[in-house]
Amino acid sequence: MPFIHTVSESEASGPVKQVYETSIASFGRIANIVRLLSPDSAVIQSSMSLYASLMKRENALSAERREMLATIVSHANDCYYGTLLHAEDFRQVSEYTEAAEIAEQLIYDYRQAMISDADRALCDYAIKLTLKPGDMSAFDVEHLRQHGFSDDAINIAAQVVSYFNYLNRIADGLGVEPEPEMAPSEETWRALKTNEYGL
């Protein structure tokens, strides 16, 4: 059970009802993380609008890379919900031949994943921004430029990383419930995960 009262479908009105209806039309359900935003109609509308802008429209960073960032940021934050949800989303949009295997590797440690050097540099940037934001410098951006990322792509990457740091804390701070299809069990996840990135 979530730690707070959330708005049910039958109670929903105004912007909350609109977000719920959009979620059902787009994904066939209302994700549990969306329900946690429902007590404040302005917040749910703004947060879901930002999510759509960052994750569901074409921009300077591929959908595959955006979902990869969402996965590893959630992992770095020990957010079981976000890690599994976005690893599955990564698998669905990835152009890697071994997408399913890479998605599984991202769940536990991106450093072991069979990804390109550019993707690894992007992940390094995301983990540093997540765990040591005060240590970020122009060098970190320049390193991404050297791997072929434009400033527009780097800006989107920073926005995605920051958004999922926020969303992970909503999920864990308000007691998000895993979606029914999520596996392994949380006990297995806690036993197997390793996110000691040594920063």
Pick the last residue of a domain from 27, 55, 83. 55
Q: Which one-letter amino acid corresponds to residue 60?
A: A
Q: What is the 3-state secondary structure (H, E, C) of 3-64?
A: CCCCCCCCCCCHHHHHHHHHHHHHHCCCCHHHHHCCCCHHHHHHHHHHHHHHHCCCCCCCHH
Instruction: Kindly state whether residue 162 falls inside one of the protein's structural domains.
Output: yes
Q: What is the pLDDT along the chain (199 residues), one digit of tens a residue?
A: 899 999 999 999 999 999 999 999 988 999 999 999 999 999 999 999 999 999 999 999 999 999 999 999 999 999 989 999 999 999 999 999 999 999 999 988 899 999 999 999 999 999 999 999 999 999 999 999 999 999 999 999 999 999 999 999 999 999 999 888 876 566 656 655 655 676 6
Q: Does 30 share its domain with 107? A: no
3-class DSSP assignment, residue 8: coil
CB atoms within 10 A of CB 102: 24
Q: Does 166 share its domain with 186? A: yes
Q: Does 166 share its domain with 144? A: yes
Give the distance between the most distant pair of CA atoms in the chain: 52
Q: Does 36 share its domain with 75? A: no
Q: Look up the CATH number of the domain holding residue 95.
A: 1.20.1290.10
Interval 39-89: pLDDT, tens: 999 999 999 999 999 999 999 999 999 999 999 999 999 998 999 999 999
Instruction: Kindly state whether residue 199 falls inside one of the protein's structural domains.
Output: no
Q: Does 35 share its domain with 91? A: no
CB atoms within 10 A of CB 49: 12
Report the domain count for the chain: 2
- Judge whether 128 and 98 are in contact, CB under 8 Å: no
Instruction: Kindly state whether residue 4 falls inside one of the protein's structural domains.
Output: no
Name the pTM for this structure. Answer: 0.93
Q: Of 164, 5, 191, which is closest to residue 79 (Cα–Cα)?
A: 164
Task: Locate 73 and state its tokens.
Answer: 């940021």
- Judge whether 52 and 106 are in contact, CB under 8 Å: no
Q: Does 163 share its domain with 122? A: yes
Instruction: Kindly state whether residue 197 falls inside one of the protein's structural domains.
Output: no
Find all residues with CB under 8 Å of 49, minimum gap 6, and list them.
none
CA 184 from centroid of its chain's CA atoms = 18
Q: Does 96 share its domain with 44? A: no
Structural domain boundaries enclosing 116: 63-192
